[in-house]
Amino acid sequence: MRLASLPQGRDGRLIVVSDDLVWYADADHIVPTMQALLDAWDRYAPLLESLSIELAHGAIPRKRFHEREAAAPLPRSYGRFGGSDMLMGARDAFVLADEAWSAVFAPAVVVVTGDVPQGADAEAACACIELVGFANEVTLHAHPALDGPVAVATHCSPVFVTPEALGDAWQAGALKAPLAIEHGGAVLHVSAADLDFGAALARLAAARPIRAGSLVGLTLPGAGGAALHHGETVRVDVRDGKGRSLFGAIEQKIVRY
C-alpha cells in the first residue's frame, strides 16, 4: 500500500493513496497520523491494507490526490540520523537567504522502521522495514554561524510505500529502480541497487535498539553535490520498468526570503 499525509497540525493527517497516485481515501478514522500507525503497526496496517483494496476497487469515497498538496508522509520522525523535527513536503520551497552560504543537495533512498531489536542481523533488520521512499537533503557548507557543513532541510517523496507493494523494485533490502535527478537542465539517472538497508540497519542496531518510526536514509554516491542558486528547481523521481512513478516526485524550488 501507499501512504501519504496531508498538512494538519505538526504530524499531518494520514491518507491511503492508489497505486497510480491519482486517488486517495482518508485513513484518519482508523489511525490519525503516520507516527501513530508506526507505534502500533501490527494493529492498524491490516485495516489500512483493506482500505487500500477498497480504494483500488472504487468501493469507498475517494478524492483526487495532488502531490503538491501533500506534506512529508512522516512530518516528524522521533529518530533520524540528521534533523528530524521538520521533514518537508515534496513541493515545499527551500528558502536560501544568501547563495554565499553554499547550499548543495544530496538525494537519498529512505526507509521507515518498526522496532529493530539490538543485535539484529541484516536479514532480521530488513524485515523491520515498514515503508520505503526517497528524500532530497540540502546542506549548507559556508553559513557564517555554523561550524562546518550542516544539513538544514530534508524534502520527502509525496508517498511512502510498503516493501511488498514495490514488487520487483524492492529486493533484499535494496531499491532496484534508479532515481532520475533533474537539475540545471540535465537529467542524471543514478542506481540505488547497491544501497543495502539490511546491512545499514544491522550496523545501527549493534549498539542499541532502533525505535519504531525511525527514518534512515542512504545517500546515492555521485548523485548530488551541485551548488543551488535562486530560481532553480531540483526534481527527483523514481519510475518502474513501465515508466510509472513509484513514490511521486520531489520538485524543490530554491527561493529567496
- Residue-wise pLDDT tens digits, 130-170: 999 999 999 999 898 888 898 889 999 999 999 999 999 99
Sign of CA dihedral 243, 70, 162, 116: positive
**Which tens digit of pLDDT belongs to each residue from 34-52?**
999 999 999 999 999 999 9
Q: Is 206 a residue whose pLDDT tops 70?
A: yes
56: enclosing H helix or E strand:
helix 41-56
Collapsed DSSP state (helix, strand, coil) of residue 166: helix
Q: How far is CA 217 from the centre of its chain?
A: 9
Instruction: Please determine, for residue 65, whether its predicted confidence score (pLDDT) is greater than 70.
Output: yes
C-alpha cell at 104: 548543495
pLDDT band of residue 33 (cuts 50, 70, 90) is very high
Residues 189 and 107: their CA atoms lie apart, in Å, by 11
Break the chain down into helix, strand, coil percent, rounded to 5: 20, 35, 45
Walk me through the domains of the chain, giving residue ranges and CATH numbers. 2-64 (no CATH), 76-255 (3.90.850.10)
Which pLDDT score, from 0 to 100, does residue 84 have?
61
Angstrom CA distances, 154 to 10, 73, 80, 247, stand at: 16, 12, 11, 16
Spatial neighbors of 75 by CB under 8 A, at least 6 apart, are 5, 10, 11, 12, 34, 86, 87
Q: What is the pLDDT of residue 82?
A: 53
Q: Is 178:189 a contact under the CB 8 Å cutoff?
A: yes
Contact between 235 and 249 under an 8 Å Cβ cutoff? The reply is yes
